[in-house]
Amino acid sequence: MSDLDPVSYATIRSSDQLGHALSQWRLKASKTQSYVAGRSGTKQNSISRIEGGNMGRTVGLLFRVLALLDLEIVIRPRRKSSVKDIENLFP
């Protein structure tokens, strides 16, 4: 996936955008909401709510604080850590 692919790189500024991005990632990975729910220890309707942007007041507050500080969240594939990366955590 290239950096231009909206599924490989997403700038998140609201819970709605976060939910949409998570849904797109899940679909790209060919996973169902039930699969994600089972693997994360929750119910399918919880995943549906998250993907719909309904994540509770704390997440809403988080995005308001980020906006006030002129910050945003960026979602991208997790990098695989190397031994050197881990060693660098402990100087």
What domains are there in the chain, each with its CATH number?
10-88 (1.10.260.40)
The pair of structure tokens assigned to 75 is: 């979602």
pLDDT per residue as tens digits for the range 12-71: 999 999 999 999 999 999 999 999 999 999 999 999 999 999 998 999 999 999 999 999
Q: How confident is the model at residue 8 (pLDDT cuts 50, 70, 90)?
A: low
Instruction: Name the one residue in this structure whose structure tokens are 């998250």.
Output: 50
d(CA 46, CA 19): 11
pLDDT category at 5 given cuts 50, 70, 90 is low
Reference 52, options 12, 13, 8, 15; nearest CA is: 15
Res 64: pLDDT: 94
User: Is pLDDT of 1 > 60?
Assistant: no
